Amino acid sequence: MGSLAMIDEYATILDDAARNAHELTQFDPNATMPLETAYAIQAASIRRRVQRGEARVGVKMGFTSRAKMLQMGLSDVIWGRLTAGMQIEEGTAVDISRFIHPRVEPELAFILRRPLAGTVTGPEALAAVEAIAPALEIIDSRYQNFKFTLPEVIADNASSSGFVIGTWHDPHTDFDNLGLTLNIDGRTLQVGSTAALLGHPLRSLVAAARLAALANEPLQAGWIVMAGGATPAEWIKPGQYVSVEMQRLGRAGFHVRSGTSTAKSLRT
Ligand code: OOG
Ligand code: MG
């Protein structure tokens, strides 16, 4: 495990990069940093957001589908922390200048009715779910060219940058194999299924419960869990309307607005 000063230094650099939409060069291209240290950096960078007043609202899972593992060349399931400042209201416009080089991916979101911690079964996880919804994640790696190693992406909060949630639905329906599409300006760019998420999206929630508890931050009632991208991610650009369409659960979308340099410099 790295020293506290080192963890704090990297956390500050990553937090500043995310806040100011500045890209960084890779700091561990040979992946020598222990994952425990990388997660400590992530935790410290999110603490800075929370200290600025952003509430913790849940967790996100990464590399839970083969499509995402292949696209990014990494094969370990990772997780990151969600804060209120990352949520984008469904149907609204997001300013592109918040990001460095954003991509979007279709996901399934859970919201919990009660806490969920440690080693749980699929049925136990389901019993803690209040509702499920189609969702989009905006990922924006803070590293140049969206290129990183496993410790680097973990330290960078698993590239998490924004998320959009559609209408919540009763979870007591089969959602293990729902067809879905990722669309930009009415054009379908990716086709997939919720089955891409570890064979069943509940497995992603089971993994989230275990990993969050291991970090002493057990999943709370009211928290959102993003189950991971079901297809490869796509780049987004100003002027676009981006949406996920999911069988039976409907749609979630957002507009991308071109930013001004003023908006960027005013951002805190
Ligand atoms: C890392 C984050 C992966 C997912 O859903 O698999 C992720 C990245 O691709 O930049 O969010
Ligand atoms: Mg994702």
Measured in angstroms, how far is the CA atom of residue 161 from the centroid of ligand 2?
10
Amino acid 266: pLDDT: 44
The 3-class SS string of the chain reads CCCHHHHHHHHHHHHHHHHHCCCECCCCCCCCCCHHHHHHHHHHHHHHHHHCCCCEEEEEEECCCHHHHHHHCCCCCEEEEEEHHHECCCCCEEEHHHCCCCEEEEEEEEEECCCECCCCCHHHHHHCEEEEEEEEEEECCCEHHHCCCHHHHHHCHHHEEEEEECCCECCCCCCCCCEEEEEECCEEEEEEEHHHCCCCHHHHHHHHHHHHHHCCCCECCCCEEECCCCCCCEECCCCCEEEEEECCCEEEEEEEECCCHHHHHHCC
Closest ligand relative to 77 C-alpha:
1
* For ligand 1, atom 9: residue with the closest CA: 72
Q: How many residues in total does the chain contain? A: 268
Res 93: pLDDT:
98
Say how many Å lie between the CA of residue 70 and the centre of ligand 1: 11
Q: What is the distance in A from the centroid of ligand 2 to the CA of 61?
A: 6
pLDDT at 80: 98
The distance from CA 98 to its chain's CA centroid, rounded to whole angstroms, is 16
The closest of 110, 64, 112 to 222, measured between CA atoms, is 112
- Whole-Å CA distances, 138 to 83, 86, 148, 157: 13, 9, 17, 12
- Separation in Å, CA 18 to CA 37, 99, 134, 160: 19, 8, 25, 10
Question: Half-sphere exposure of residue 71, counting CA atoms within 13 Å on the CB side?
Answer: 18
Global pTM?
0.95
Q: Which residues of the chain have pLDDT under 50?
A: 261-268
**Cα 13 to averaged position of ligand 2 atoms, centre (Å):** 22
Which of 14, 24, 68, 224 gets mutated to test ligand 1 (max ligand atoms within 8 A of its CB)? Answer: 68
User: What is the 136 CA–ligand 2 centroid distance (Å)?
Assistant: 8
Ligand nearest to the CA of residue 69, numbered in listed order: 1
Chain Cα centroid distance, residue 218: 17
Alpha carbon distance, N-terminus to C-terminus of the chain: 31
**What are the tokens at 216?**
């002493």
Sequence-separated (6 or more) residues with CB below 8 Å from residue 266: none
Give the pLDDT confidence of 185-197 residue by residue, as tens digits: 999 999 999 999 9
Nearest residue CA, atom 11 of ligand 1?
Answer: 62
The predicted pLDDT at position 47 comes to: 98
Looking at residue 260, what is its pLDDT?
64
Of ligand 1's listed atoms, the one at least distance from the Cα of 69 is 6
Q: Which residue's C-alpha comes closest to atom 10 of ligand 1?
A: 159
Q: Which two tokens stand for residue 81?
A: 């922390």
Name the residue at shortest CA distance from atom 7 of ligand 1: 62
* Residue to substitute in 64, 74, 136, 137 for testing ligand 1 pocket (most ligand atoms within 8 angstroms of CB): 137
Residues in the ligand 1 pocket, defined by CB under 6 Å? 62-64, 68, 72, 105, 137, 139, 141, 153, 158-159, 228-229
How confident is the model at residue 259, as a pLDDT? 77
Q: Which atom of ligand 1 is nearest to the CA of 68?
A: 6
pLDDT digits (tens, 9 = 90+) for 55-91: 999 999 999 999 999 999 999 999 999 999 999 999 9
